């Protein structure tokens, strides 16, 4: 459990935002210089951080949100409550609001209930907006679409 932390049952948006900002500092973004961090809260109370990892070929690049989800899934977690996302130009003092890309929204939809999973769009631990996955990903495709 080296990259996870514990959190009580209440979602502490400021702490998740702070951990997303912390993870952003570890981004590997030499090409876009757009650094993103994420902090994913599981139902068990553990938190997994992720950062974006770019690649010169671009396609192998992985977003912060997917890094956090894949870390959690690889540790046996399958149920999530919330994710905080923070991003912006490397070295920027002020961050813009950043939301998960379409691929990350699809990955989150694989594991999260659209109506209850919360996405915290963080500019700082005190400046953030909270939306549900359903608000960010209306009419998303999921397992229910594969049933006859």
CA angle 55, 61, 66 (to 5 degrees): 150
Distance separating alpha carbons of residues 98 and 139, to the nearest angstrom: 21
- Residues 107-127: tens digit of each pLDDT: 999 999 999 999 999 999 999
- For residue range 84-103, what is the model confidence (pLDDT) as tens digits? 999 999 988 889 999 999 99
124-139 pLDDT per residue, tens: 999 999 999 999 999 9
Q: What is the DSSP letter of 10?
A: S
65 noted as active-site residue: yes
pLDDT category at 1 given cuts 50, 70, 90 is: very low
pTM of the model: 0.91
120 - beta bridge partners?
Answer: 84, 130
CB neighbour burial string for 101-119, b if at least 16 within 10 angstroms, e if fewer: eeebbebbbebbebeebbb
Which residue in the list 54, 65, 77, 118 is annotated as catalytic?
A: 65
Q: Residue 77 and residue 14: Cα distance in Å, rounded?
A: 23
């Amino acid at each position: 459990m080296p990259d996870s932390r514990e959190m009580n049952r209440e979602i502490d948006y400021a702490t998740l935002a702070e951990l997303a900002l912390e993870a952003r500092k570890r981004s590997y973004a030499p090409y876009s210089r757009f650094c993103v961090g994420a902090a994913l809260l599981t139902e068990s109370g553990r938190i997994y951080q992720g950062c974006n990892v770019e690649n010169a070929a671009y396609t192998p690049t992985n977003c912060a949100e997917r890094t956090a989800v894949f870390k959690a899934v690889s540790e046996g977690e399958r149920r999530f409550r919330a994710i905080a996302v923070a991003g912006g130009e490397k070295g920027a003092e002020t961050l813009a609001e950043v939301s998960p890309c379409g691929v990350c929204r699809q990955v989150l939809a694989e594991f999260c209930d659209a109506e209850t999973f919360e996405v915290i769009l963080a500019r700082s631990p005190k400046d953030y907006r909270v939306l549900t996955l359903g608000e960010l990903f209306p009419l998303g495709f999921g397992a229910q679409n594969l049933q006859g």
